[in-house]
Chain A
Amino acid sequence: MELEESPKQQYSDKEKSNIFNNEFMPHINSMYNFAYRLTLDQDDSKDLVQDTYLKAYRFIDSFQQGTNAKAWLFRILKNSFINDYRKKSKEPSKVDYQEVESYYNSEEVDRQITPDLRVEALKDMIGDEISNALNSLDVDFRTVIILCDLEGFKYDEMAKILDIPIGTVRSRLHRARNLLKEKLSEYAKQMGYKNA
């Protein structure tokens, strides 16, 4: 997974082209969506995806064929975002991971935050409510929901992409989903659902 590692392969130009077109490019929609949800800006997300693909090509010898290309690409994109884009943004990460861990281990986890958010209310959310709710979450919470719920990564893959332990993946997901439900529940109330 490491770009910094010395390359283990030496692909010919034809092999490189094959890997790029058949293993990397099929993930372009997922990559663009991830970039857009991270930056929340169309131009930034295009730049981020392009940078990522060019980096992936430059370091293609560190990619081992037959391993998970999508996870490899997502990790490069996430690192580029942290190094090149997050710095630019004024808003620093608000997540205190210590706090997340202690949250997960506390009794608070037993408390159902929105017990009455109902499936019927969700069914009426045919506009941008869910997208706005997702985008409103802190970027670290947004990220785990994208990786897990939209892209279907497993916990161990997420741990590698994000460089965090699996336990942290699980606690962050748990917290992220509660926050998302809180948001959705606010929208449901605005839509006139009582006790939502």
Chain B
Amino acid sequence: MSNPDQNQMKQECQNQRECMEMLQLIVDGEASPEQKEHFLVHHLEECMPCYKNYHLEVAIRQLLKNKCTGQAPQELIDSIKAKVISNLAP
């Protein structure tokens, strides 16, 4: 996506509701390639609110992935394995 000239962009979105639904489909990986192309390449170039929303959604997801995941404690892994192995023993 190029960096659009913000002065040329619409400050109001004409299809806010449809756009919000499309944006959700796109960030969730549920949109078709045509839908993505139309929204990401054409609509975002000209619509300021959608441009901002899209980047906000992407940034939130990135932050979630970086900050809200973790590792299972090793003792838990060991304990599960031990219990299952003892179950498997004849």
Contact B20 A33 (CB under 8 A): no
Residues of A within 8 A of B88 (CB): 13, 16-17
Residues of B within 8 A of A179 (CB): none
Closest A-B pairs by Cβ, 3 of them: A32-B72, A28-B72, A119-B59
Contact A150 B56 (CB under 8 A): no
A109 is an interface residue with CB less than 8 A from chain B: yes
Most B Cβ at <10 Å: residue of A36, A145, A149, A174: A149
How far apart sit A109 and B20, CA to CA, in the bound complex (Å)?
9
A155 is an interface residue with CB less than 8 A from chain B: yes
A37 is an interface residue with CB less than 8 A from chain B: yes
How large, as a class, is the contact surface on chain B?
35 or more
Interface residue total, chain A, C-beta cutoff 8 A:
48
Most A Cβ at <10 Å: residue of B30, B63, B83: B63
How far apart sit A180 and B87, CA to CA, in the bound complex (Å)?
43
Instruction: Say whether, besides A46-B76, A53-B84, A117-B56, A37 and B63 are in contact (CB < 8 Å).
Output: no
